[in-house]
Each structure stands twice: as C-alpha cells, then as structure tokens.
Structure 1
C-alpha cells in the first residue's frame, strides 16, 4: 500500500514514511492510493473478533511495511492500557446503541488512535535511530490523549497548543498536570482554529520542519484516522449480533471531520453503513455544508461541547479529494479559494453525492443540556455534552428501522459543569481524575503567533 497527497505533488510513500511525514510536504493530507475492498464474506469473518485482533486485520490491509508480529505487538501494547475488556464496548439505551470510546487513559475517543500512534512513533524512531518533536493543536481531547500516548517515551518531545481558558477545566488539567520532561503545554491567547492554523503554517515551512524533525499528532496524520476506522467495524459486529441487521447508521459528534471521515473510509471499504449522521454544535459549518452546500467560515462560539468549537475542519480536505473524484488539481484550487475567501460553493451534483453518505444536524446549547437531562431521566445513563449532541441528532434523524450507533466520545466526568447544569449534580469521577486539581502543573501562556511558537520550539526541541 502506497500513499499520496490530496494535492497531488507527493505520492508513492510507504506507510512508515506517511506516518513520519504527517502533513504532506505539498500542504495536503495523505491518503492511501486505493481503499481496500472487503466482500460480505470478509466482513462476516471480522464481525466477532476481539478488538486487538480486529484492529490487526483492518490495519494490516493498509500497512505493508511493518512485519505482522511487530504490528500485532504495537496493537496489543496500545490497548493494554484500556480499563474495559472490550476496549470499546457497545451498550443499548432508549432505542440507540452507544459505542463507548472513553475507556482509555484520558477518558476520550482520541486514546483509541493516540495510544497506537505513540507506540508507532517510538517503534519507527528506534528503527531509524532518529528523534522527533511532535507539534499539535487541540480543542480539548487530542492534547491530553497525545501527551499520554508519548509521555516519557525515548527520542520524543511533544508540544501541544490549546486555547487559553477555552477547554474544560478537566481537559486542561489532564494536559497541564503531566510534568514529564518531554511534555510542553502551551496555552495560546486565541481559539483552536488559531492553533490549527499555526501548526499548518509551521509544517508548511519545510526547512524548519526538517531542521527540528517535526511530527504530526493531530488527525492530519493518516495513522490517526486509520486507527479510528477499526471501531466502526467493531460496533457493526456487536450490533449485528443483537439485531441481525443488514445496514447500520452511525451518529458522530464532530467538529474537525476526522472521526466521521474514519466512518466514511469504513463505508468505502464495504461496511454496510446506510448513512453517517454528522452532528455539530452551534459551530455548524459542517452541518451547513451537508444540508445547504454552504461551507463558509464564521466566528467560533463557545459551547458546552468545547472539543467541537471549530470552524475550519482540517480533515475536510480529505473528503473533498473523494467528492472531486480524486482530482488533486480541483482540491488545490478549492483550498486556495478557501484560504482567500473563507468559503466554498458546491454544485447540485456534488451536493447530491454528499447526501448519499451524510445526514447532518446542528444541536444548540439548550438542546444539549436537555438531551443529557432527558436521557438520564429515562435510562439512568449519563451522556457527556459531545455525545449528547450525537444522540440528539440520532433521535431526530433516525428512521426508526435501521439501528443507529452513537459514538460516545468522552466520559461525562470531563465536563462536570455542563452535567451539573443538566441534571443538578456533577458526575462521579473515575479513579484517574481523583485529586487532579491538587497535582503539580506545568504550562506556559503564549500569543497565538506563528513566530513566537517557532521560537519556543527552537529553544526546547530535541
């Protein structure tokens, strides 16, 4: 399997080189040259595998340059840190199936990919005798999951930008209380979109990227998306066993388009997904795209689901590549237009293609709290505000016949203030969060300025 850039000027990369490159050197995002196709028989053979074995069977179709025994070892190590024996269990409440993705070290779905990516980086760096400085931006969960994925690892420093006072208190503490010497937390005076822009600008400086051996941990790294494809297959197998369904829907709370894009890849591989329900909060650029063909950047609103407080979805370019029938020139033109005008327009034919794969709904702050409260009242099950966005969209858009799986992207204890507003009490904290406010903290506040971040990197890089 070889990899190419959405912008067409980087191609024929091995999987290992694609992982190490992160953002493609032409500014695009890396994708496999072709998507492996699975027959119904292939999918049936995967249905009831345990999670590590399923991950091996899915990932090995995209990874041609890591020996099978090594890949299996990386996978086994990555999921040994999860607290549930099923890794990503599926539960059923109030007519929806909930895929719990929060049983990793930082209680968020990002752990599923970043535990794997951290081990993969360590493996490749040891193999090559190299060092890496990871640079990433977070709207809340990626940062802590990335930090926990590489804390204390050899030959890696990690620099994470988060928007100052615009993530939940627990999200901030999960990052800033990790004091390993290879971890650097930077609170930028700005938004997540500012941080994402800075990261892309720095990776776009190829001389700087090479000099400081920069690596990407955001979902611009293909390995992140690939690891997330696995749990769509896992959920399908568990729901099919219970319902004997022929198709399935997934409702995905998303701001950056990475998690739902993993579902799109699973669908392209042959998983019988009827529709992907794209659920956003009041930062509804992706909902407007699906429903109206309007992809225009607005101001970021702060909501109870801060990990989705995003306007510019970095993984959207990957979807454009397929929407434009893999024409890299069109992708380059579109990204140039977006950079200059802040918007993209789509033809009626393109909008019809989108509608074949996606439904979409934006959920307000008030509706988020209402969903947490009502769902808890009916079932006793507590949703975090991001998962509540997905559940609300599933209940409103589901057809009542096709089973719908809602991705539970975080443990409710990470968003205690929102839960308190919804049900009148904070959620019970798991052991990993006990006393987190009293732990030693390390973080620096810095302007959302590319030059300032570059100077900091140059001073602290390996």
Structure 2
C-alpha cells in the first residue's frame, strides 16, 4: 500500500514515510491509495475479537510493508497496556442509549487511543533510522495532553504543543503543563485553536524549516492517528451485531476537527455496515452547516462548555473532500484555494445528495448540552461530559445509535456541576493535578514567534 496527497503534488510514499511526513509536502493530507476490503466472513470473525487482537487485524493491511505482524502486535500491546479498562474501549448500554467509552487511557480522553499508538510507533521508527523528531502540534484541549503522555521522556523526541490561552478547561491545561520532562514544551498562545492550527500548518509548509528541524505531526493530520481510531468503530459494531454483516449501525460523533468522524467514514469504506454517521457540533457549527448546505465557510470561534470542539477550520475535512470530489486532486486544490482566498468553498449541488445519504448533522446549544447531561443523569445515573452530551443530544430519536464518549466527565467539572449540581468522581489519572508544579510559555499567536522559540529551545 502507498499513500498519496489530497492535492496530488507528491509521489506515493510508504506508511512509515507518511507517518514521519505528517502533512504532505504539497500542503495536502495523506491517504492510502486504496482501502482494504472486509468481507462478511471477515466481519463475522472480527466481531468476537478482543480490542487488541482486532486492532492488529484492522491496521495490518495499512502497515504491513513497513512493520512485521510481530512488530505491530508488540506496538499494540505496549500502547494499550496502560488503559484502565480490560476492553480498552468498552460499550455501555443504558436502555436504548449506547455509549462507546473512549476515555480509559492515561489522559482520560479518546485521543489516547491513537496517540499512545503513535508515540510508540514514532519511537520504533526513530530507533530504526537513528534519527530525531521534533513534534509540533496544536490542541483544542485533549490532543495536547494525550500527545505529551505518548512521548514524554523519549530520548529521540522533543514535543512542542500550542494551546489557546484560557480556552481549554483547567484540568486540560494542567494535564499538559504539569508534565515537566525535559523533552516537553508547552506554549499557551494568545489566540484561538484555529490560530494554533494555522501556525502548525504554516511551519510545516516552511519546507526548509521542516527539514532542518525534523518536524513531525501528532495532530489528526497524521494518518496514523486516523488509522488507530478506525479500530473502535469495528469493535463497537462487533459488540452489538453478533457478527451479522447485514446489521447496520448508526454512530453519533461529537467532532470539531472531523478526524474522529472521518475514521468512521474509513471504516465504512472498508466495508463496515454503517447506516448513518451523525455529525454533532456545538455552537461552532462549520461542519453541520456544510452538511446542511454544501457550503463550508468559516465564522467566529465561540468559547463553549465543550471547548475541544471550539473550532472553525477542520483540518481533516480536506480528506473527506478528496473522496467527495471523486479523488480528483485538481478539484481539491481548486476548492482549497477558494477557501484560502474567500474563507469559504461550496461543493457542486449534485454532490450534496451524496453528503446527505451518509451524514446527518446537528449543532447543539449550550443549554441543550447542559439539559442532556441532566436528563441522562436523572434517567440512568450516568454522567456525560459536555462533548459526549452533544453527541447524545444529536442522536435523539434514533434508537440504538452508538454515541462516542470522547472524554471523562471529571475533565469538565464546572459544566457538569452546572448541569447536575455535582462533579464526577475523577479517575486516578486526574487526581491532584491542580496542586502540581506547572511550566508553560505564553507567546503571541504568530508563526515567526513560535519558529524562533523552537530554534532557541532546541539550540539550548
């Protein structure tokens, strides 16, 4: 299998090259040149597998030229050994409500599923090459801490994480800034997550800087992030289908950057029986507006009680656009150029029917989010975090939908307290964070400033 750019400007690369490249050198995003197809017999066999064994089966066709099966099995075992639930991503059934819990990793968020794997994968590839890597990423809340925990203390890696100052939850901030390993560098930028994402892309597109400083990506622009997330869609389906390939499932996915829901789209393209993908957003509704209208247009970024979705430019959207445009890089380049110059793009009218055939979308308000937390707790005793509540609310009226729980509710104590009058009991990984020593630089949301900070830090 080879990997190609959504913009068609590079020669196909191997899996390991794609992982180390992160963002394609032509500014596009990397994708496999074809998706492996899973037939009914394979689905039936996979349905009964435990998570780690399933992860190897799902991922091996994508990595097999670069990793042996034994190497992949060892990576998977090491990546998920620290998860606190034996099923890694258990499915909880509360009457007709189904919750796929993705928060049992070291930072209590779904990003751990991918970033524990990616951190170990980086380590393996760097040991092979004898090289070094400087990871640069931006976070709206959870990616940063999950990435930091995935590579903290590693000898061949330094990590620089940008987060928007004052726009992540206090616990999310402390999860990042209390990691004091010498290879971890936290930066609070005086701007939004979109500013951080823009800076990351600008520095990755500065090819002399990228090459001189061996930049690597942990944001969901890195294909390995998406690949690891595909696994839990197959896992959830297996828990409810009994292996019946005719059994279709609807997933409701709270998303801001389109990465998590794109992983569901990949699973569908591989052959997973998916009925619908419900795209759930908060007030920052660029994605839901696109599903309804075919117009993808930026707007103001509003701070909300579900801050990880406070995004107006969704980096993974370009991957879906590539398939919507029939894998035509020229059309993707044209639309992304329009986005760059006008702040919006519009897909042809005939393509909107294709969007509607798969996606359903809802933008959920702050009050609806609080009400959903309150309602679910009253009816079941189960506490939702505000992001998961957005997904649950968006799935109302669809019995049997599987709602992805993207974070532990204790990470968003204030929102939960407002909704039900109490905070969720924190897992061990979150206890005592607010009392720990912290370290963080506060810098302007400017690519030149971040570039200079990285140079000075790495020279020291």
Is the contact between residue 133 and residue 157 of structure 1 (CA under 8 Å) also seen in structure 2?
yes
Q: Note if contact 2:45-2:243 (Cα within 8 Å) is conserved in structure 1.
A: no
Shift of 1:244: 9.4
The residue correspondences of 1:19-418 to structure 2 (distance < 5 A) are: 19-63=19-63, 64-241=65-242, 246-396=247-397, 398=398, 400=399, 403-418=400-415
- Answer yes or no: is the 8 Å Cα contact 2:43–2:245 preserved in 1: no
Q: In 2, Cα distance between the equivalents of 1:426 and 1:242?
A: 38
For residue 318 of structure 1, give the secondary structure of its aligned residue in structure 2: helix
Alpha-carbon distance in structure 2 between the residues aligned to 1:207 and 1:243: 52
| Uncovered stretches (5+) of structure 1, i.e. residues with no partner | none
Aligned counterparts of 2:11 and 2:38: Cα–Cα separation in 1: 24
Name the CA distance, whole Å, in 2 between partners of 1:340 and 1:51. Answer: 44
Cα displacement string for residues 71-112 of structure 1 (whole angstroms, at most 9, x for unaligned residues): 110010000010000000000114121100000000000000
Q: Residue 424 of structure 2 aligns to a residue in which SS?
A: coil
Structure 2 Cα separation of the partners of residues 251 and 113 of structure 1: 19
TM-score of the pair, normalised by structure 1: 0.98
Length, aligned pairs only: 458
8 Å CA contact 1:94–1:378 kept in 2: the answer is: no
For the 8 Å contact 1:132–1:157, the answer to whether it is kept is yes
Q: Does 1:420 align with 2:421?
A: no
Matched residue SS, 1:255: coil
Is the Cα–Cα contact under 8 Å of residues 147 and 183 in structure 1 kept in the other structure?
A: yes
Q: What is the distance in 1 between the residues matched to 2:6 and 2:92?
A: 37
Describe the shift of the 1:39–1:118 C-alpha distance in structure 2 as closer, same or farther (beyond 3 A). same
Deviation of residue 461 (structure 1)?
2.6
Partners in 2 of 1:352 and 1:22 — Cα distance?
Answer: 32
Per-residue Cα deviation, 1:163-212 (whole angstroms, up to 9, x for no partner):
00000000000000000000000000000000000000000000000000
Per-residue CA deviations over 1:210-242 (Å, capped at 9, x if unaligned) read: 000000000000000000000000000001139
Q: TM-score, with normalisation over the residues of structure 2?
A: 0.98
Instruction: State the secondary structure of the residue aligned to 2:242.
Output: helix
Distance 2:295 2:197 in 1: 21
* Alignment partners' CA distance in 2, 1:421 and 1:244: 43
Bigger shift: residues 341-350 or 185-194: 341-350
TM-aligned CA deviation for residue 321 of structure 1: 0.4
Cα distance, 1:245 vs structure 2: 6.9
CA distance in 2, matches of 1:79, 1:142: 17
Q: Which among 429, 432, 451 is matched to residue 429 of structure 2?
A: 432
Counterparts of 2:98 and 2:458, CA distance in 1: 44
Structure 2 gaps, min length 5: none
How far has the Cα of 1:243 moved from its partner?
9.6
